[in-house]
Amino acid sequence: MPNFSGIINPYLTAPKGKVLFYEKDKVDKIYLILKGKVTMYRISEEGQKRIIYILNDGDFINEVAFENLPASISCQAFEDSCILYFLKSDLMELMAGDFALTCIIMNSMAKKIRRLYRQLKNTVPLRMDKKLAAKLWKLSRDYGVKTGEGTLIDLNISITYLADMLGSTRETVSRCMNGFKKKGMIKFQNKRIVVVDPEALSVYFRGI
């Protein structure tokens, strides 16, 4: 989390489901997550929602707004969140006098670019079960909590939400999840997903 001690900036509370901005909106603020999570998503020409990122505490949301172009993605609170925001001109003034802050913002943008490269890799033809295995493995790595039964994905993610992340249908993802469950690769605990053996998922989607 960047250090903004001594700097007073407004913040907003975003209840779960609140949209901060939509694709093509003109956004004149840069947002930073103080606490919570947000979803970055796009809507396809067919009207299907496609989740691109889930961002967490300490993440900048829309550094690309420095470009002074309409938003190319929509942002919605994944859970109740507290969001700090800056006018672009104010943040640029801070960056001019704080190289460490500039590096943080550059690293944040680089992280998003790396994620987009992975997204592009996943656009090549690949069976949905392998795409799902890769996504569950990544979620277990990023949000996993070790338990006696495996790695709990500490996010309230539904089958519909997973389908939105993969650009698939709920029925297809549900069928794949049931297949993984029968193979003993995943289980459910209090409506959350437990990856019994992340390495098995890794081997599965890599086709080793």
Q: Which fold has domain 128-206?
A: Arc Repressor Mutant, subunit A (1.10.10)
Instruction: Name the pTM for this structure.
Output: 0.71
164 Rama sector, left if φ>0, alpha if ψ -120 to 50, beta otherwise: alpha
Domain boundaries, the chain: 11-121, 128-206
Q: What is the pLDDT along the chain (208 residues), one digit of tens a residue?
A: 555 544 556 778 999 999 999 999 999 899 999 999 999 999 877 788 888 889 999 899 998 888 888 898 999 999 999 999 988 888 888 888 889 988 988 988 888 888 777 766 655 556 889 889 999 999 999 999 999 999 999 998 999 999 998 888 899 999 999 999 999 999 998 889 999 988 888 888 876 4
Q: Which residue has the tokens 């993605």?
A: 73
DSSP secondary structure string, 81-123? EEEEEEEHHHHHHHHHH-HHHHHHHHHHHHHHHHHHHHHHHTT
Q: What is the CATH number of domain 11-121?
A: 2.60.120.10
Same fold, 11-121 and 128-206: no
Per-residue confidence (pLDDT) for residue 125, from 0 to 100: 52
